Structure 1
Amino acid sequence: MNSQVEIHTEQAVPVNTGGADVVLACRGLRKSYRQGNRELEVLRGVELEVKRGEKLAIVGASGSGKSTLLNLLGGLDTPSSGEVWVADQNLSELDANQRGWLRNRSLGFVYQFHHLLGEFSALENVAMPLLIGKQAVSRAREEATEMLRAVGLGERLTHKPSQLSGGERQRVAIARALVTRPACVLMDEPTGNLDRATAKEIHKLMERLNGEMGISFVIVTHDPDLAAALDRCLHLIDGKLEHAGENRV
């Protein structure tokens, strides 16, 4: 990888690693926390590459560091050592404003709890990343409307989160994550707060949007059905990722 500090403002550019179409990668990623007189090492040299359009599951025991890894990959936390590359950019070489801009353009985030803004409508919640990225209001509303229709909520544009079901709120969160057409969406237990039937609907939705848009998904999950439906599954054990096999070709 070649160092490149200038931020791209066009569609997300893949990391070029040996000719592979890689959109997100980390090298030698380590993270430690100080607990009193003791240092707790959570991640111990994690290596990962995510290709364009790939759907990847990360599984592991509670407290194994899965959410920590996701936060580092998303530039929401800084590693103790190692590098994270997003859209051909080394995050360690960027300042806070540049990292924020890169996250807005190249990454989407979905969590177990939707984290929608309760005082805003579904349309306004989904348009928010575009407005933060300096998109014109009229264009942001058009793109947010299109994305909400894509997730089956075209009739819920003006509804606030309190007027939506749990599954609908999570669909809004997914639409918000996808509206900037990022290279990769990072998901932390996206169906963990849903009943089984609704979770299956969300699984199908993610599968369809991945096929239609070619966006990569990295999903931390305890759901064996979701993990089995993805292209690849990695286990986080003792601070390192271990290959769990290809789920399908």
Structure 2
Amino acid sequence: MNSQVEINTEQATPAESGGNSAVLACRQLRKSYRQGSNELEVLRGVELEVKRGEKLAIVGASGSGKSTLLNLLGGLDTPTSGEVRVAGQDLAKLNANERGWLRNSSLGFVYQFHHLLGEFSALENVAMPLLIGKHSVASAREEATAMLQAVGLGERLSHKPSQLSGGERQRVAIARALVTRPACVLMDEPTGNLDRATAREIHKLMDKLNREMGISFVIVTHDPDLAAALDRCLHLIDGKLESNWHEGDRV
């Protein structure tokens, strides 16, 4: 493959269409679950606004609803009440196909476990969102190659997940999340399954890509080093996001 392929960081994205306006926001977001005759309220009127290019950490105790919040922000779950806007569009006003298109074009997702498709190569895994978005095979392969080179895996294009280390697999997952030039990437414990040295490399990589591409990151994490390195850190307490976060609150 051509090692000189470069990412087009000036391509227009949904994140750029609104200047410095929010690329992701929610208003009075609530989520409840029925447990027998009882109703468990996990989120109680969450308010959040994420600006273009912002890096935001969400921390909180296990079971506090962090992953639930991330799923609601990504349109993977439906709130009990409240509003979620992605690139200025209210998810509740879109049909299933429109929500799917918006997720594919405006959001990227990275999880603690990479969720790569084991039968496909790194290149094929990263190209998948572009193929779903109706890009040509040639265009998808070119963009995927460029993104894998950007995350330092230009020599691993044909390797399958089983042939990659844990850190390399997570880099592939990050490349897959970024390849569509989304407005925002949602990450759920992206370094939680990695050793500290590899986690630090992933931290540096996310910071580099954020600066070069202007993509926002919302990261649910228990990693205090990662949280401290981001622009903002919010603590999910009693179903609401609080900005006053102290050293003793880290979990």
Fold equivalence (TM over 0.5)? yes
- Which of 12, 15, 21 aligns to 2:14? It is 12
**SS of equivalent to 1:102:** helix
- Which residue of structure 2 aligns with residue 3 of structure 1? none
Identity among equivalent pairs (%): 85
- Equivalent residues in 2 for 1:109-188, closer than 5 Å: 109-188=109-188
- Backbone CA RMSD of aligned residues: 1.4
- Equivalent residues in 2 for 1:33-44, closer than 5 Å: 33-44=33-44
Q: In the aligned structure 2, how far is the partner of 1:229 from the partner of 1:22? A: 21
Give the drift of 1:189.
0.1
Number of corresponding residues: 235
Q: What stretches of structure 1 of length at least 5 have no aligned partner?
A: 1-9
- Which residue of structure 1 aligns with residue 3 of structure 2? none
Q: Which amino acid aligns with 1:237?
A: I
Aligned partners of 1:75 and 1:103 also within 8 Å: yes
Aligned partners of 2:20 and 2:52 also within 8 Å: no
Q: Which amino acid aligns with 1:81?
A: S
Q: In the aligned structure 2, how far is the partner of 1:33 from the partner of 1:58? A: 21
**SS of equivalent to 2:208:** helix
Q: Which amino acid aligns with 2:38?
A: R
- Which residue of structure 1 aligns with residue 4 of structure 2? none
Q: In the aligned structure 2, how far is the partner of 1:37 from the partner of 1:15? A: 46
Poorly superposed stretches of 4+, deviation over 3 Å? 13-16
Q: Which amino acid aligns with 1:242?
A: E
Q: TM-score with structure 1 length normalisation?
A: 0.92
Give the drift of 1:13.
4.7
Q: TM-score with structure 2 length normalisation?
A: 0.91
- Equivalent residues in 2 for 1:35-114, closer than 5 Å: 35-114=35-114
Aligned partners of 1:84 and 1:92 also within 8 Å: yes
Q: What stretches of structure 2 of length at least 5 have no aligned partner?
A: 1-11, 246-251
Aligned partners of 2:15 and 2:52 also within 8 Å: no
